Each structure stands twice: as C-alpha cells, then as structure tokens.
C-alpha cells in the first residue's frame, strides 16, 4: 500500500495543484485518460483552434454584403487538424512525461481508481493508495442517448469529431447547446452540409429568451436547423447513416456521412464509489462542495476530501475550474485560514456564429427575484457607427439592471466579438459599479464597437443621482 500526502484524481485543472509547496511531500496524480484533461485535449482549446479558421471562411459571406468579393475555395481539413493536434498532443505528452519522470516526489497512475474508504483508493489493477488529502477533479464526459444505432461507426461525440480523417460532406448534429452550436458553425463554414437537430423549439434554450430566439434565427440563416425533433434510431444506409426523428407527430428522415452527438455532458463521478461513501451529489451526479471546495456528506465537510471542475460544479467551464484550483491551492496549504470561492458573477461565451456571451441573471430570473424593480434594454450593434460599417443586422446587447440600486443584474450579448465586449460588464458587476457611473465615468472610444455597450448602459432607466458623472 502506497501512502501520499496528496492524491489528485484527474490531470486537467487538478494538475495545477502541484506547486512548489509539495516539493518535500509525496503526491500522486491519477488519470486513466489523456493527460491534461478535457479543455486541453477535446474541449476549449482545440475547438477554438477550429473556430478561428471557420470564422475566416465565414467572412466570405459577410464581405459580400459590404461589396467585397472574396472566394472560398475549400478547407484543408487534414492540415488544420494536424496543425492543431500536432501542438496539443505534444503539450499533453510533455505534461505526462514531466509528472511521470521528472519530479521525484510525484507518482503518476494511468489507470482508473475508486474509493474504498474516505482516504483509501484502489486502482483497477488492485493496488491500494492512501492519502491524507484527496482532490476529486475527474471532469465530465459526453452523454449518449439510448437509441438504436448510437454505437454505429460514423457516430461521434466532441471527443472524436475533431480527429476525423476528412471533412464530412453531410453532417447531422444532435443538440441545441453550446457544443452543438459551435461545431455547427465550424463545419458549415468549412464546407460541410450541416443539419442541427434539437429536441426543443429553440437553440441555446438555457440562455435569456431574447438571445435564444435571436440566435435560433441567425443559425437557421447559416445552416439547416430542425427543431422539436426526437431521435428514434440511427441505421446504416447507402454507404452512410440514416437518422429517423419524430417531428410534430410526423417522421423526419435525414441522411449523413457523420453524426455528432452533442446532447450534454455528465460528471465522471459515477465510477468512483463516492455515492457508497455517502458523499452528497447533485441530481446530475456532480459532487456538492462548500465555499472552500470541501466535499460534503450530509451537508458537512468530509475531512481532507476536496472537489473541483466538472466533477464538482454545474458550470462546466474551464475558467471556473481554474479559479477553483487557485482557491484550492491556498486552502490545501492553509487549512486554518481558508478562503472561499466567489461564484457570484460567472461569465461564459459560446464561440459559434454569431458569437454569444453572457453573465448574471436572465430576464426571467431577474424578474422572479426583483419584480418591477428590473429594467432592461436591448441595443442593436447596428445602432452604432461601427455597426453601420459592418452593416450589422443581427448583433444585440441586452442589459438588465435594478432601478433602485443602479447595479447590473445581467448582461447578454450576441454578435461580433461578444466575448470581448462583455468583459467590462463582468468587471462592473464584480466590483459593484453602478450603471450610470460606468456609462458616464470613463471615456468610451468612438467609433469603436464598444459604443454599443455604452449606449445600452445609457439607455437603461436608472434614476440620475447628483453624484453621477456628467
């Protein structure tokens, strides 16, 4: 039986927990998958490395509306893929080798483990590992619907779709969330015939209703979108795949060379044995942790057991996992002076076309909590000078604020570089900066696209105060 001061299950954000503090102590890092976790290998980083070439390809259509004739002559899929994974695979392998061979105090286990007791783990090969402190950072995996044909060759998840041998001519994407919508934009731009199929009546349905509706319309103008369609089966047909759906009581048949299943992700906690130990779990299977990232059992912290990332939060965002890791680095080293994780204003972006970014409450959430005290505004990108330059007819900024406090409650953007434009709004919410002060205090560059944010702030019905900037 091997004993460690710290055992980390998962090599994504959990890998960053091994700081110089542990140089004189024994650490185990355990991961049976690809070293580096979801974001590096199959998530945020490679997908965005595909998104950018897709944006360049899509600019041909946008340029035509401005009187510029560009020509898209096709995409070198293999070249794009190999450039991306040539870089990522090398980083993953280097990280694995560093942990396995270059640090005397660190032992790398490349097999599955499960809990025997609160501080004992057993590997798939039968070895026992004990540790004073254990961090569960096992990430998440794609969910596959239970329908006939789901395991056929040609049916992929986000884990495998980016390594295809060639660009598919016909691609059916199942799902209406951020993964499905990002890949739909990429493949459609690079030349695939894309059909995105969603069970509900709108794409990105978890977002503010105005953003969801606007994106559904925008997406349908770029690739084929089918809504309110339930998958019944997938079968082999004429050298490809045939998908049968029920849509409004009638059959919908689609043919594809490749199918991408992007219907959600589930935490990798079910095989760890945490339920048998009585650890608290949410309905989705993620661990319940307190503000200090300590795993709970019956609402109380389990001594020495911590969680982070997709295994222990509901956001499933890398920047949240990274913040949790920073909090946990401190708390592991200072058990008597722990610091809490601040989850008040978690932003997110969807790198689809058009881009989406959001933070805070949706209008429905804000009105449920604050009633008539909520004021809202929707500002069109096209209402600004830079929007005129772009001939933008889609982009919008939606802001929600509290009339009495003057504070932002939510910000929801769809359009060009939404993930950049939202950043000052995130900072304003984090720092309790009032709307009128934010709108009138700093200079806003004219005619930058950021004027659309300024104009949205100015349009909110927040009563003026004598102390407000002019």
Q: Which residues are catalytic?
A: 446
Total count of residues recorded for the chain: 470
Beta bridge partners of 296: 301
Please identify which residue in the block is written with the tokens 């140089």. 23
How far from each other are the two terminal CA atoms of the chain, in whole angstroms? 70
Asked if residues 274 and 138 have their Cβ atoms less than 8 Å apart, the reply is: no
Please tell me the distance from the alpha carbon of residue 410 to that of residue 231, in angstroms, as a whole number.
35
Please tell me the distance from the alpha carbon of residue 183 to that of residue 46, in angstroms, as a whole number.
11
């Amino acid at each position: 039986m091997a004993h460690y001061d710290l055992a980390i299950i998962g090599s994504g954000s959990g890998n960053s927990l091994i700081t110089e503090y542990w140089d004189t102590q024994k650490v185990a890092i355990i991961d049976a998958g690809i070293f580096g976790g979801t974001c590096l290998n199959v998530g945020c980083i490679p997908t965005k490395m595909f998104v950018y070439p897709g944006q360049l390809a899509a600019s041909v259509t946008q340029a035509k509306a401005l009187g510029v004739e560009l020509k898209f002559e096709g995409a070198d899929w293999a070249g794009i893929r190999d450039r991306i994974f040539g870089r990522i695979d090398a980083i993953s392998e280097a990280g694995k080798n560093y942990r396995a061979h270059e640090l005397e105090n660190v032992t790398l286990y490349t097999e599955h483990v499960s809990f025997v007791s609160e501080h004992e783990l057993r590997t798939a090969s039968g070895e026992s590992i004990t540790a004073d402190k254990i961090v569960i950072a096992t990430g998440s995996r794609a969910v596959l619907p239970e329908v006939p044909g789901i395991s056929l060759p040609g049916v992929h998840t986000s884990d495998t779709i980016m390594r295809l041998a060639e660009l598919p001519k016909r691609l059916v994407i199942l799902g209406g969330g951020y993964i499905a919508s990002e890949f739909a934009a990429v493949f459609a731009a690079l030349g695939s015939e894309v059909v995105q199929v969603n069970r509900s009546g709108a794409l990105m349905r978890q977002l503010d209703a105005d953003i969801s509706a606007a994106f559904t319309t925008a997406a349908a103008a770029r690739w084929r979108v089918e809504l309110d369609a339930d998958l019944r089966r997938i079968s082999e047909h004429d050298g490809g795949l045939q998908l049968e759906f029920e849509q409004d009581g009638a059959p919908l048949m689609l043919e594809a060379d490749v199918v991408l299943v992007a219907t959600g992700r589930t935490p990798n906690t079910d095989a760890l044995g945490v339920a048998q130990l009585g650890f608290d779990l949410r309905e989705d299977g993620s661990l319940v942790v307190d503000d200090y990232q300590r795993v709970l059992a019956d609402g109380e912290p389990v001594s020495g057991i911590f969680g982070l990332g997709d295994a222990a939060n509901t956001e499933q965002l890398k920047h949240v996992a990274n913040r949790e890791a920073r909090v946990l680095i401190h708390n592991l080293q200072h058990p008597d002076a722990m610091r809490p994780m601040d989850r008040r204003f978690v932003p997110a972006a969807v790198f689809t076309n058009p881009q989406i970014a959001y933070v805070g409450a949706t209008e429905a959430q804000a009105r449920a909590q604050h009633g008539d005290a909520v004021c809202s505004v929707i500002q069109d990108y096209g209402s600004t000078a830079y929007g005129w330059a772009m001939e933008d007819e889609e982009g919008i900024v939606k802001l929600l604020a509290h009339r009495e406090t003057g504070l932002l409650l939510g910000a929801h953007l769809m359009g060009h570089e939404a993930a950049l434009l939202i950043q000052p709004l995130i900072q304003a919410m984090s720092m309790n900066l009032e709307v009128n002060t934010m709108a009138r205090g700093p200079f806003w560059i004219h005619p930058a696209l950021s004027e659309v944010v300024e104009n949205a702030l100015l349009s909110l019905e927040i009563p003026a105060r004598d102390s407000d900037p002019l």
